[in-house]
Structure 1
Amino acid sequence: MNNYYGYIRVSTDEQNESRQLQALKQFEKDHEVKLTIFMDKLTGKCFSEREQYQALKKVVAPGDVIVIKELDRLGRTYDQIKQELTEFRNINVQVVILDLPTFTDVKDQKLGKLLNNLMVELLSYFAEKEHERITERVREGVRQAQKEGKPIGRPKRKLPKNFSKWYPEWKNGDMTAVEFARIMGVSKPTIYRYIRHYENHN
């Protein structure tokens, strides 16, 4: 017997989970099934820590069905969503997406599998296009900065005042790194970073 699960994710900037919960309850009624529901309430910084979602992934088995209201419940980017759908596809778990009507037919599992495969391929395409778009925007930004004479890349590390004055003393062995660091008012690891930077740019 296949098991049916529901997953709800809400963040602190959303009102509450009632909208998603209502949709899952309607699915139960329409399909005469009982969903075991997992729910995460998240802040913006802990999306990857979805404890209930991870718990859900541990209990699902081949032939099971997961019901979500919206596709973005699985992830925040195309790549994340694609990865999750692929994992479920590989273990023969069907994902039902209520906001995509053609993805709600759980009676025909062959159709469900076909649709899941199609969604993975579409997400892969969108992810690739999104990556290309971002890459092109970066290139355009670099080209524009070059036209305007703006510096490209990381700004140069600012060395302490009088660093170049005392550097030869250390280089010639007349001063230890600890003494050099003390004069510059920094730690020993920091003085070595300054030295590497200075030597690489001079």
Structure 2
Amino acid sequence: MALIGYARVSTRDQHTEAQTDVLEAAGCEKVFVDHASGTLARRPALDQMLEYVRAGDTLVVTKLDRLGRSVRNLKQIAEDMQERGIGLRALSQGIDTTTPGGRLFFHMLAAIAEFEHDLIVERTHDGLAAARARGRKGGRKFKMTATKISQARAMYDSKEHTVQEIADTFGVSRPTIYRHLQSSAGAPGAVR
């Protein structure tokens, strides 16, 4: 029955001492530390820690957001640990899944966070649909205007420039140039 700590900071410039000091004060025998964004799928110290912990151990974090990339990922990690007989304790949120009340609280928080995420997605879709109904389109502005496309076509047809040179001239990729040259396929000298 060991307490095992896990700390994570998002960038190399951030310091882990604030988290590791709290984890050591909580009685953690060993602390694993990652220097990686929470959105990254690969976090080596997390993988090592998950291999290290055994049934009866409790994983301790300062806050839940240090552990999971998303609510779904956090829930998946917690369920995997629960199946293996490993507890989870989040110090600042007062969550301890080794108790029935702690498990209930954790699942309620996860459900609320997932509900909030679903609401945000729904509002985003509604906002995009309303914008489209008003004739607005989302996304980046096209780099290639009609004038630039005709200039690129002229450069290509002159056979004095490579497609890469044309792409570099307009600050776009080769596939973008090819796509625009093919879109004007009806034009004389179109790429086929």
TM-score by length of 1: 0.64
- Are positions 1:57 and 2:57 aligned together? no
RMSD: 3.8
Greater mean alpha carbon deviation, residues 182-191 or residues 60-69:
182-191
Aligned residues: 174
CA-CA distance at 1:37 after TM superposition:
1.2
- Are positions 1:70 and 2:63 aligned together? yes
Q: Check the 8 A contact 1:9/1:73 in 2, yes or no.
A: yes
**Corresponding letter in the other structure for 2:19:** Q
SS of equivalent residue, structure 2 residue 114: helix
Distance 1:162 1:102, change over 3 A: closer
In the alignment, the residues of structure 2 paired with residue 196 and residue 117 of structure 1 have an alpha-carbon distance, to the nearest angstrom, of: 58
Q: Check the 8 A contact 1:40/1:50 in 2, yes or no.
A: yes
Q: Check the 8 A contact 2:38/2:69 in 1, yes or no.
A: no
Tell me the residue number matched to 1:18.
17
For residues 2-21 of structure 1, give each alpha carbon's deviation from its aligned partner in whole angstroms, at most 9, with x where no partner exists.
23211111233875222212
TM-score by length of 2: 0.67
Mark the runs of 5 or more structure 2 residues left unpaired by the alignment.
Answer: 165-173, 186-192
Distance 1:12 1:193, change over 3 A: closer
Distance 1:137 1:118, change over 3 A: same
- Are positions 1:35 and 2:49 aligned together? no
Tell me the residue number matched to 2:128.
141
From the CA coordinates, give the structure whose radius of gyration is larger: 1
Q: Check the 8 A contact 2:95/2:105 in 1, yes or no.
A: no
Q: Check the 8 A contact 1:38/1:56 in 2, yes or no.
A: yes
- List 4+ stretches of structure 1 deviating above 6 A: 153-157, 162-165, 187-192
- The sequence identity of aligned pairs, in percent, is 21
SS of equivalent residue, structure 1 residue 49: coil
In the alignment, the residues of structure 1 paired with residue 79 and residue 47 of structure 2 have an alpha-carbon distance, to the nearest angstrom, of: 15
Mark the runs of 5 or more structure 1 residues left unpaired by the alignment.
Answer: 29-33, 166-178
For residues 8-36 of structure 1, give each alpha carbon's deviation from its aligned partner in whole angstroms, at most 9, with x where no partner exists.
112338752222122122211xxxxx511
Q: Check the 8 A contact 1:97/1:103 in 2, yes or no.
A: yes
Q: Check the 8 A contact 2:153/2:181 in 1, yes or no.
A: no
